[in-house]
């Protein structure tokens, strides 16, 4: 790879075609498979690719680790250098290294203003569940056990709002749910069933061309914990930092409290969030079901996470598991979505 090092030194001397630029991709010190716009380019730690002026996507992979950069702008006659770390959060749209993005419409590539704001989450291993004996309801959260989230995924930084859900409902001829006179627009959608939430994710997949769904129970706890091991991402006491029981007695607009270390808002309180996992009360026990790791498209008893405006301290804890039938609709329940990597 000596030629590559020399090439990098003399990049200013390269002759650019009238409508092309150069994209320099580095994965130092690791060697990875490097793709540009879906086309394999090299198994290397550095590569230089001549590309047409415009927007381009990069993907680097090694084993089950993947990092993606999307919509990298290349102007004619310029060189853009991108250094990627495997399993790093994806930087989307290349806007001052912003990690928050919205997808575009599959039909014409225009901005999808009604799509949720998403953030990429790196793969990793975490301790799921709780071994505490403090709460009587903790029996289905034991034992705490290691879970490996193997795939990169994006998740909504907010719960889906009435504004976003109403757009979907009007576009598909569905009935818009009641807001209990608490407000629509930026309030989290409520009175939606698991079936409604799953239909919304399927529609979002169709209009963007990317795969959206509800998170699994394990994915939800992983992103809500954001690397912590306490009851809540900030510690073991509520401290008035979330919309839980006794604060407001109704939902609040999304983002009314601080985000966790992954940039997610309202993972504690406000509304319960549907997951795509079937509820198995003994799913954590040794040699038992792995339902909490899987995404099921079948109706039935489903897991909800995160607590609501009506939940006490116990119900708002990151490990608490609530189960409801997929047809249930109430004023304490909403959802957020995940988006899979390409």
Please state which CATH number belongs to domain 2-88. Answer: 2.60.40.1120
Per the rule left: phi > 0, alpha: psi between -120 and 50, beta: everything else, 147 is: beta
pLDDT in tens, 265-295: 999 999 999 999 999 988 888 656 788 888 9
How much is the pLDDT for 99?
Answer: 72
The two tokens of residue 332 are 């304490």
pLDDT of 95 > 50? The answer is no
Query: Is residue 176's pLDDT more than 80?
Result: yes
Question: Which pLDDT score, from 0 to 100, does residue 5 have?
Answer: 44
pLDDT at 18: 59
Helix residue ranges, H only, 71-216 = 162-172, 194-208
Share of the chain above pLDDT 90, in %: 55
Structural element, H or E, at residue 6: helix 2-9
**CATH of region 118-340:** 3.90.1580.10
> Mean per-residue pLDDT for 325-342?
95
CA 236 distance to own-chain centroid = 24
What is the torsion angle, in degrees rounded to the nearest 10, for the CA atoms of residue 118, residue 300, residue 194 and residue 172?
Answer: 110
| SS3 of residue 194 by DSSP | helix
Statement: residue 23 has pLDDT above 70 = yes
Residue 215 has pLDDT above 70, yes or no: yes
Sign of CA dihedral 329, 335, 338, 339: positive
Reported as a single tens digit per residue, the pLDDT across 46-77 is 999 999 999 998 888 876 567 788 888 898 88
Sketch the domain layout of the chain as residue ranges. 2-88, 118-340
Is residue 68 within 8 Å of 170, Cβ to Cβ? no
How many C-beta neighbours within 10 Å does residue 261 have?
A: 11
């Amino acid at each position: 790879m000596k030629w590559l090092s020399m090439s990098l030194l003399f990049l200013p001397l390269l002759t650019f075609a009238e409508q092309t630029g150069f994209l320099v991709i580095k994965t130092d010190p690791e060697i990875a498979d490097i793709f540009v716009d879906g086309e394999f380019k090299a198994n290397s730690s550095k590569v230089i690719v001549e590309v047409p002026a415009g927007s381009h996507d990069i993907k680097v992979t090694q084993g089950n680790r993947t990092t993606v950069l999307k919509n990298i702008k290349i102007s004619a006659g310029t060189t853009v250098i991108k250094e990627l770390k495997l399993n790093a959060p994806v930087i989307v749209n290349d806007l001052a290294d912003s990690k928050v993005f919205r997808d575009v419409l599959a039909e014409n590539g225009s901005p999808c203003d009604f799509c949720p704001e998403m953030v990429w989450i790196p793969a990793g291993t975490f301790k799921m569940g709780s071994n505490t004996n403090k709460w009587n309801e903790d029996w289905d959260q034991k034992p705490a056990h290691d879970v490996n989230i193997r795939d990169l995924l994006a998740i909504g930084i907010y719960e889906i709002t009435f504004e976003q859900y109403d757009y979907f409902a009007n576009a598909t001829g569905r009935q818009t749910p009641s807001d209990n006179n608490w407000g629509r627009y930026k309030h989290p959608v409520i009175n939606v069933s698991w079936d409604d939430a799953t239909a919304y994710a399927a529609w979002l997949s169709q209009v963007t061309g990317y795969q959206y769904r509800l998170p699994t129970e394990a994915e939800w706890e992983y992103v809500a914990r954001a690397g912590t091991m306490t009851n809540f991402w900030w510690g073991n006491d509520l401290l008035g930092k979330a919309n839980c029981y006794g604060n407001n007695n109704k939902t609040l607009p999304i983002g009314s409290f601080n985000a966790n270390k992954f940039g997610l808002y309202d993972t504690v309180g406000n509304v319960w969030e549907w997951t795509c996992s079937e509820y198995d009360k003994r799913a954590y026990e040794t040699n038992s079901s792995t339902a909490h790791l899987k995404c099921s498209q079948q109706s039935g008893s489903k897991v909800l996470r995160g607590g609501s405006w009506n939940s006490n301290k116990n119900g708002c804890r990151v490990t608490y598991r609530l189960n409801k039938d997929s047809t249930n609709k109430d004023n304490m329940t909403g959802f957020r979505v995940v988006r899979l990597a390409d």
